[in-house]
């Protein structure tokens, strides 16, 4: 016999169950220690022997239902399970022959729910530009609406409702109504609500029984609306916001008239997405693969803002120091209407004395964390290029970035997550503060369930949370829109001791060449000229290559750092690259740097015996990087597994470079090939590139001997030599403090 009862202690009522045994009409207390009971039946004494084994089995059944404790006051560890016991448990026991009674004062019974409702009302008294709204959830009981959101939130905050408990307990959950009655809610319904509410309920205060939410939370309303059985009443402002989030960046945006290049289709969609974010006053992460033109999309967006009259404050780009000149160059090339300047060097303060004079200000991460003027200045858009620089949320640079005063925020990176989900949180906390909660909340909601426990539903929920605010296109996804070959020039900027060494070598070599020309004439001075150019090129590549005493202790190389960052990003994206150099000693240096970073490589030089074996291993995908000396690998190799070619030290002979590039860009190649040329800005390398282009244009108009001249190179005139040996230009010497702390990131694409 089981009886469900309630213990009353003042205003508090606690449910319990009382167990008894019935032996042929004789009730027996289960706690009675006697093995047999004697009772009077008429004029006789009758002994009743107890069946201890049967009693134990019956008590075991109650334990299966969760009832424990003394037989006269059995309880459930989870009070929410009394409803399950009162419904399913009672039916099970009665089916087994049990007598089950329920006292009238046992109030752990539930009221029937006629329906569910939700309201999302606009906050008419909001302050600021960002829309806010109030969420209410409730049930319809006996024809009346009853708000149960406070009960749901309280249960979540108290830990009475959690994903883990809902997975373990299949029974309905009791939620109290304001009048003391309870409703039973199915776990599946609560689970669906929890996907939305658990991330809101632990830190947002209730306002008159509702949750006050912001624009970032509007995407969650769609998730609530998808739960079956809800009738919704949504205010017009929040309804429009939800609809725009649901639609995404559907409307096309015309490329601005002042843009001097054509946008590919996917770049046009990227521009539309950026404009969509501005419209909704939200931030985002543009995470396209490297080489897909993130910079030109951002510049086009700024030009649209300027043309629309919205760029009443300057935009800020924060980037690795090595990217500054390229951002400036790209802006001047593609969006000349944007008034662009660098915030860099000892005279930078003048820039922000009159910020209204500029549309685009470009600075470094190192300056961001030490120059308060950047934080004090209001910006229209703040763009973090190579945004993985703030992946450590506790780093000074990340803290400084989050302090920026900007209407809109954008992260640009091909690798939004390099190491773990914490990287993603740090980037998104800049782009959309609060979207993923605090780091502690994010770890609880997503990182631990996904990284430690592999919970697919949490991963799906995270993807759904960030999807509107992260745009990523891979090269494979836009393959049809890409040309077979894209040529990109990446610039490194010499600084500090390397710059000083270059200038010292240049002065020495300039005098030597000048003296030689005066003494012997141009025709008989070729060796001296070529040696001078060689020494300067070696300083650009890696100073110790010169074997000069002043260079041997100089370990810093701007171009080598540029290469390592480029390679790291390529490897992170799963790309395969060929790295060409004329200097086998340079390849040896690169090998050591790759080893230090744990990046696997193979190489082919003039000393390689089993060339085909190396080729086969690379083609099989064993390693992502193949180092090739230009002379040994210029012909006879088929390396179509590579989708990237890097010329570390370009020379002026286009035919030789073309032969090397064709190792990857040839028949059998199924994917676009990107060709990078690494150039030290303002040096002999950059001037050779200009000279090469001029000579190539001349050769195109010459019949007959053009191909032969292209193979052999071309002669240098006195004016050419003077230009090649001129001092470094294109820089102010840089910011020495920034130079120490700035990441030497890859430069943006200057497409040939």
Residue spans of the chain under pLDDT 70 = 10-12, 87, 104-105, 107-109, 125-131, 167-171, 179-181, 198-205, 249-250, 634-636, 652-655, 665-669, 694-716, 730-752
237 with 386, same domain? Answer: no
Which of 481, 506, 540 lies at the terminal end of a domain, its last residue? 481
The number of residues in the chain equals 752
- Identify whether 508 is part of a domain: no
Spatial separation of the C-alpha atoms in residues 555 and 544, rounded to whole Å? 8
97 with 123, same domain? Answer: no
Check: CB of residue 626 under 8 Å from CB of residue 656: no
For the chain, the straight-line distance linking the first and the last C-alpha, in angstroms and rounded, comes to: 89
Spatial separation of the C-alpha atoms in residues 615 and 258, rounded to whole Å? 47
The token pair at 618 is 């690379």
580 with 685, same domain? Answer: yes
String of DSSP letters for 4-54: EEEEEETTEEEEEEEE-EEETTEEE-TT---SEEEEEETTEEEEEE--HHH
284 with 243, same domain? Answer: no
How does pLDDT run across 186-228, given as a tens digit for each residue? 888 888 888 777 666 666 667 778 888 888 888 778 778 878 8
Element (H, E) at 341: strand 340-342
CA distances for 71 relative to 29, 63, 355, 382, angstroms: 8, 11, 80, 68
How many independent structural domains does the chain possess? 4
Give strand pairing partners of 110.
182
**Any idea what the CATH number is for the domain that residue 474 is in?**
3.40.50.10810
- SS3 at position 566: helix
563 with 444, same domain? Answer: no
The boundaries of the domain holding residue 590 are: 486-492+555-751
623 with 717, same domain? Answer: yes
- Identify whether 539 is part of a domain: no
626 with 709, same domain? Answer: yes
* Cα angle 92, 95, 96; round to 5: 90
Which of 434, 455, 481 lies at the terminal end of a domain, its last residue? 481
607 with 705, same domain? Answer: yes
- Identify whether 509 is part of a domain: no
Backbone φ and ψ of 572, nearest 5°:
-60, -30
The reported pLDDT for the residue numbered 554 is: 81
238 with 290, same domain? Answer: no
- Identify whether 137 is part of a domain: yes
Spatial separation of the C-alpha atoms in residues 729 and 678, rounded to whole Å? 17
The reported pLDDT for the residue numbered 743 is: 32
22 with 135, same domain? Answer: no
Q: Residue 608 CB: number of other CB atoms within 10 A?
A: 17
Which of 447, 481, 515 lies at the terminal end of a domain, its last residue? 481
- SS3 at position 330: helix
CA distances for 165 relative to 14, 81, 158, 195, angstroms: 22, 12, 13, 14
- Smallest Cα–Cα separation from 283: which of 264, 298, 267, 303? 298
- Identify whether 278 is part of a domain: yes
- Identify whether 523 is part of a domain: no
297 with 355, same domain? Answer: yes
The token pair at 552 is 């041997």
- Identify whether 534 is part of a domain: no
Which of 587-596's residues contact partners 24+ apart within 8 Å by CB, and which partners? 587/627, 587/628, 587/629, 589/542, 589/544, 589/545, 589/560, 590/560, 590/563, 590/627, 590/648, 591/627, 593/560, 593/564, 594/564, 594/567, 594/625
128 with 272, same domain? Answer: no
The reported pLDDT for the residue numbered 17 is: 92
Q: Residue 212 CB: number of other CB atoms within 10 A?
A: 17
- Identify whether 253 is part of a domain: no
**Any idea what the CATH number is for the domain that residue 722 is in?**
3.40.50.300
Spatial separation of the C-alpha atoms in residues 687 and 541, rounded to whole Å? 15
Residues whose CB is less than 8 angstroms from the CB of residue 609 and which lie 6 or more positions away in sequence, other chains included = none
String of DSSP letters for 345-375: STTTHHHHHSGGG-SEEEEEHHHHTT-HHHH
């Amino acid at each position: 016999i089981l009886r469900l009862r309630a213990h009353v202690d003042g205003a508090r009522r606690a449910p319990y169950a009382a167990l008894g045994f019935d032996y042929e009409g004789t009730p027996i207390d289960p706690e009675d220690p006697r093995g047999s009971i004697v009772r009077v039946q008429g004029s006789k004494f009758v002994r009743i022997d107890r069946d201890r084994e049967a009693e134990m089995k019956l008590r075991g059944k109650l334990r299966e239902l969760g009832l424990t404790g003394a037989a006269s006051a059995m309880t459930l560890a989870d009070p929410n399970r009394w409803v399950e016991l009162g419904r399913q448990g009672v039916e099970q026991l009665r089916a087994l022959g049990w007598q089950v009674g329920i006292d009238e004062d046992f109030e752990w019974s539930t009221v029937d729910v006629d329906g569910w409702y939700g309201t999302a009302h606009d906050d008419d008294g909001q302050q600021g530009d960002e829309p806010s709204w109030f969420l209410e959830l409730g049930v319809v009981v006996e024809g009346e609406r009853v708000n149960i959101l406070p009960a749901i939130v309280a249960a979540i905050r108290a830990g009475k409702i959690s994903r883990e408990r809902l997975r373990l307990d299949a029974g309905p959950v009791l939620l109290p109504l304001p009048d003391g009655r309870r409703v039973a809610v199915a776990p599946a319904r609560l689970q669906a609500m929890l996907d939305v509410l658990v991330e809101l309920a632990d830190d947002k205060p209730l306002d008159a029984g509702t949750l006050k939410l912001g624009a970032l939370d509007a995407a969650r309303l769609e998730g609530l609306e998808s739960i079956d059985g809800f009738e919704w009443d949504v205010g017009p402002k929040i309804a429009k916001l939800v609809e725009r989030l649901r639609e995404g960046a559907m409307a096309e945006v015309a490329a601005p008239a002042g843009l001097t290049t054509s946008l590919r289709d996917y770049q046009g969609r990227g521009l539309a997405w950026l404009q969509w974010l501005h419209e909704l006053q939200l931030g985002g992460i543009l995470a396209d693969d490297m080489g897909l033109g993130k910079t030109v999309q951002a510049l086009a967006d700024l030009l649209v803002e300027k043309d629309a009259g919205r760029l009443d404050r300057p935009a800020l780009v924060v980037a690795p120091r090595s990217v500054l000149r390229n951002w400036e160059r790209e802006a001047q090339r593609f969006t000349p209407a944007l008034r662009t300047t660098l915030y860099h060097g000892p005279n930078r303060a003048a820039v922000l004395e009159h910020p209204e004079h500029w549309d685009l200000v470009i600075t470094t991460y190192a300056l961001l964390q030490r120059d308060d003027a950047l934080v004090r200045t209001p910006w229209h858009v703040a763009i973090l290029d190579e945004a993985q620089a703030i992946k450590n949320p506790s780093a000074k640079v990340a803290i400084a970035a989050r302090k920026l005063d900007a209407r809109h925020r954008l992260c640009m990176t091909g690798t939004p997550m390099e190491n773990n989900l914490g990287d993603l949180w740090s980037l998104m906390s800049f782009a959309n503060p609060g979207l993923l909660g605090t780091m502690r909340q994010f770890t609880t909601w997503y990182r631990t369930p996904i990284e430690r426990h592999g919970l697919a539903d949490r991963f799906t929920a995270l993807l759904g949370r960030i999807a509107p605010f992260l745009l990523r296109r891979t090269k494979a996804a836009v393959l049809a829109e890409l040309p077979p070959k894209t040529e990109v020039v990446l610039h490194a900027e010499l600084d500090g001791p390397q710059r000083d060494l270059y200038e010292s070598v240049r002065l020495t070599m300039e005098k030597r060449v000048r003296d030689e020309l005066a003494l012997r004439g141009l025709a008989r001075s070729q060796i001296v000229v070529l040696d001078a150019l060689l020494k300067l090129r070696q300083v650009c590549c890696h100073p110790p290559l010169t074997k000069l005493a002043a260079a041997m202790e100089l370990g810093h190389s701007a171009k080598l750092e540029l290469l390592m960052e480029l390679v790291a990003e390529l490897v992170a994206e799963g790309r395969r690259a060929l790295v060409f150099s004329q200097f086998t000693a340079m390849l040896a240096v690169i090998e050591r740097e790759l080893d230090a970073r744990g990046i696997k490589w193979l190489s082919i030089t003039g000393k390689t015996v089993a060339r085909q074996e190396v080729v086969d291993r690379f083609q099989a995908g064993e390693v992502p990087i193949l180092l090739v000396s230009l002379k040994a690998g210029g012909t006879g190799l088929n390396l179509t597994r590579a989708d990237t070619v890097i010329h570390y030290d370009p020379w002026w002979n286009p035919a030789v470079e073309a032969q090397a590039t064709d190792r990857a860009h040839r028949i059998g190649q199924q994917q676009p090939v990107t060709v990078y040329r690494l150039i030290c800005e303002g040096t002999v390398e950059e001037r050779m590139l200009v000279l090469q282009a001029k000579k190539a244009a001349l050769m195109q108009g010459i019949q007959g001997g053009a191909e032969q001249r292209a193979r052999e190179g071309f002669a240098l005139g006195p004016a050419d030599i003077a230009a090649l040996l001129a001092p470094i230009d294109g820089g102010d010497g840089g910011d020495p403090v920034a130079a120490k702390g700035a990441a030497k990131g890859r430069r943006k694409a200057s497409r040939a």
